[in-house]
Structure 1
């Protein structure tokens, strides 16, 4: 793989992590069958369900009230029997979504900043296009054009709106667990993808629902979020495949885990100097259009 292609892959992993981490609510678990089963048993556990629903609905507001937090990110991407893992650490502004992170994937390190819904990444030496160390992608434009439900990026108010759409049938308490030294309650949450902004387009990519799990501490704050999704990606072209090219879309599974610790941590997110940045928004839009 060329250095340019490798850098693009790392960039995609980084973007995936950012989007999964900042779109806090709006991913579901189970389809219509599970929701029907939940409805039939709701009468016997209505009190517990209502309590869990209230806890999940309020968790994102309570977490955002802490202003900032340290974040640890793990993204595992699997396709065609192969998998890759990206890890990240940094600090995020829980109110406006700005963040400063360091990502590591395939043994390479990327410095990443998100400022006002714009992603900046400092690529490994020799991999940045245009001879400049930083690339720039306007996440707001990419999400708006692709209609992939990512408009909640850097917008906790949008995330809270998703949470308010959860009903008692959408939340299941799974038990308790220690997460980074904090005692938490584990909930599995289900929100119909159709309820999200641009839900029809997102449904074509990931199906009617996404599995999401959250772990809330004793103060009702989010300590861990896990999202599992299967995305339909564009098939490989015949020129890149040794055998006959398949017209069927490739399925890529992505598990994203984000841990929140050290609420109130300091953050300094500054834009790189303009002369050191290459804008890659157009290329990202073209890639998204090919995969849609």
Structure 2
């Protein structure tokens, strides 16, 4: 895809959800663990059952905190180009609203998600009509993607994917400290056909969603990592007589949660300062396949 498209995608996906798409990841063993991780652990049947239960319960345990600070780092690579983004802010775990600052390729964007609507403002840039904010209705985006809008509006919702797992899908890697907090690290593989929009996801991404999660002593999600390859369809704008190969987009995301219970106050900008870009975003998405 064009660099401009990658940049916009990186900014939007990074702050809103971590990953709308999930796909085939690297099947190799995890690389060196961070922060003093113990070696890959072999579990007894009882330990395996306990780990599976912990991973399944992670989203509910995290949501019980009602709010948290969140950071998310993402990397997108396609057609020899790479885009990175870094998002930081506060997430309302109960409502899925958030207030964040996202930086991609040296540009910082103020971003809010309120009632499943995404608002963005870039310093020094105005939307059509001279308005400082643009908005995209995530419910409409979700409908086009064949997904539930909560999968887009709530970053922590991706942890609920783990509810589809069985004991065979979970491996305890070891224990680590993240920002001084003790965590247990699990490697998880989820059958994508069990997820909303799973049939479509399988065609683009393969049969499994690989994740790594780090849970604290209270069972809450402290870190989630995904590394995947998305097979995108050829652009709908391509000429009929061309044989353009489907694009392959490599995506890597790392989300971290901290300061559970911190105050979250996400409000929509004044309506007169907002330009609705939902229809344009949907058209561009269709053109890119």
Asked if 1 retains the 8 angstrom alpha-carbon contact of 2:24 and 2:205, the reply is no
Q: 1:279 aligns with which of 270, 276, 279?
A: 276
Equivalent residue for 2:255?
A: 258
Equivalent residue for 1:188?
A: 187
The structure with the greater share of residues assigned to helix is 1
In structure 1, what is the Cα distance between the partners aligned to 2:246 and 2:205?
12
Equivalent residue for 1:223?
A: 222
Equivalent residue for 1:268?
A: 265
Q: 1:14 aligns with which of 11, 14, 17?
A: 11
RMSD: 3.0
Residues 185/29 of structure 1: CA separation in 2 closer, same or farther (3 Å cut): farther
TM-score scaled to structure 2, two decimals? 0.83
Give a deviation string over 1:98-121, Cα, whole Å, max 9, x none. 000000111111000001111101
2:289 is the counterpart of 1:288: no
Residues 279/217 of structure 1: CA separation in 2 closer, same or farther (3 Å cut): same
Give, in angstroms, the shift of residue 165 of structure 1.
2.1
SS in 1 for 2:249: strand
Residues 196/181 of structure 1: CA separation in 2 closer, same or farther (3 Å cut): same
In structure 2, what is the Cα distance between the partners aligned to 1:157 and 1:82?
28
Give, in angstroms, the shift of residue 22 of structure 1.
8.1
Asked if 2 retains the 8 angstrom alpha-carbon contact of 1:146 and 1:288, the reply is no
In structure 1, what is the Cα distance between the partners aligned to 2:158 and 2:128?
34
In structure 2, what is the Cα distance between the partners aligned to 1:281 and 1:100?
19
Asked if 1 retains the 8 angstrom alpha-carbon contact of 2:16 and 2:154, the reply is no
Equivalent residue for 2:117?
A: 118
Equivalent residue for 1:45?
A: 44
Equivalent residue for 2:86?
A: 87
Equivalent residue for 2:175?
A: 176
Residues 155/79 of structure 1: CA separation in 2 closer, same or farther (3 Å cut): closer
Give a deviation string over 1:130-156, Cα, whole Å, max 9, x none. 421111111111111221566523469
Asked if 2 retains the 8 angstrom alpha-carbon contact of 1:185 and 1:216, the reply is yes
In structure 1, what is the Cα distance between the partners aligned to 2:193 and 2:109?
34
In structure 1, what is the Cα distance between the partners aligned to 2:283 and 2:19?
23
Give, in angstroms, the shift of residue 16 of structure 1.
1.3
1:12-161 to structure 2, matched below 5 A, reads 12-21=9-18, 45-126=44-125, 128-147=127-146, 151-154=150-153
Give a deviation string over 1:214-244, Cα, whole Å, max 9, x none. 00011111000111221223547779xxxx9
Asked if 1 retains the 8 angstrom alpha-carbon contact of 2:17 and 2:153, the reply is no
In structure 2, what is the Cα distance between the partners aligned to 1:273 and 1:124?
17
Identify unmatched segments of 5+ residues in structure 1: 32-43
Residues 208/124 of structure 1: CA separation in 2 closer, same or farther (3 Å cut): farther
In structure 2, what is the Cα distance between the partners aligned to 1:11 and 1:99?
18
Asked if 2 retains the 8 angstrom alpha-carbon contact of 1:11 and 1:121, the reply is no
Give a deviation string over 1:193-219, Cα, whole Å, max 9, x none. 111111111222222222211000111
Query: How many pairs align?
Result: 271
**Which stretch shifts more, 282-291 or 158-167?**
158-167
In structure 1, what is the Cα distance between the partners aligned to 2:215 and 2:136?
32
Give a deviation string over 1:170-190, Cα, whole Å, max 9, x none. 111111111121111111111
TM-score scaled to structure 1, two decimals? 0.82
Equivalent residue for 1:214?
A: 213
